[in-house]
Amino acid sequence: MINFVTANLMNYDGKDPEQYARYAQLVSMLASQKPDILVVQELISGPDNGGDALTRLRAAEDALIDLADALGLTCSADERATASISQTRHHTGVLWRHGIDVVPRRFSPYDSDVYGNSHGMAVVLFDVGGRPLRVGSAHFSHFDPGLSGGWRDAGVVMRAFNRNDGIPGIVGGDWQGIGSDETYDKDPYKGKPWDVSHALHYDLNGEVDRHGAIRLERYGRFRDCAQLVGADWEATTGHHHTDTNEPRRIDRVYVTYNFPEAAVTSYRVVGTDVVGQCTDHRPAVVEVDETKI
């Protein structure tokens, strides 16, 4: 079995002495989930728009390597760390346990400088027991997760995963917006007074903006693992003392249209008692039976 975990780290560089205590709690929490593959968001590289692309890349790689070392994982492919950078300070990365093989020359950093997506997207091709598996970490726009920014970001995910090679894929991320299914992901703002915290999450009609998820789920045929296994709805945000938004399920794990449903054996969200205040996102955990891929 492969334990797949997606986690937003809430600004992790591994170096800030004022954050050492929180970093230690974060590492302990992630280690307790025993990840075989861990995809992360919000590796940071200093202030927004700080430094050129190479400076941002080196900082993101250093943060990813620091986290890998702390967890006893690896993040090295094609002689570099598997981080992908944005044009601001929040970046994405992929880590995995020793013993899982990476296909040579198949790490694909979908950096924002090149692809125009919001926070970069790290994509790695693994060989799991002789079966290829494409894995990614995505992070959509925090100020435009739907109609334009989310729609654009979803297009990059579709381009990376829906390829003609037939390789199945799994991608975790902070999608910022909620899912497309109105019965599963109900409008968290319905009946709530207008507030600056969620003003960014409306569409042209004044409804909660689901366009990023609509493009992925309806037109890209990505399948939400929570719904795939029939899991009860659980929020992944809203527990942190700094979060003034409504509780939402914006951290999700998707598998591609050609990923065997039987290979997804379980889904859960890490409990608030375990996460505490070490991050403002609750990680999502999916168990994959690699023999059924």
Q: In this predicted model, what pLDDT tens digit does every residue of 236-251 receive, in sequence order?
A: 999 999 998 999 999 9
**pLDDT, position 148:** 84
Domains and CATH numbers, the chain: 2-292 (3.60.10.10)
pLDDT of res. 48: 64
Query: Stretch 61-75: mean pLDDT, rounded?
Result: 98
pTM equals 0.97
Whole-number Å distance between alpha carbons of 285 and 208: 26
**Residue 24 near residue 71, CB atoms below 8 Å:** no
Residue 144 has pLDDT above 90, yes or no: no
Q: Of all residues in the chain, what percent are helix, strand and coil, respectively (each to 5)? A: 25, 30, 45
287: helix, strand or coil: strand
The answer to whether 34 and 66 have CB atoms below 8 angstroms apart is no
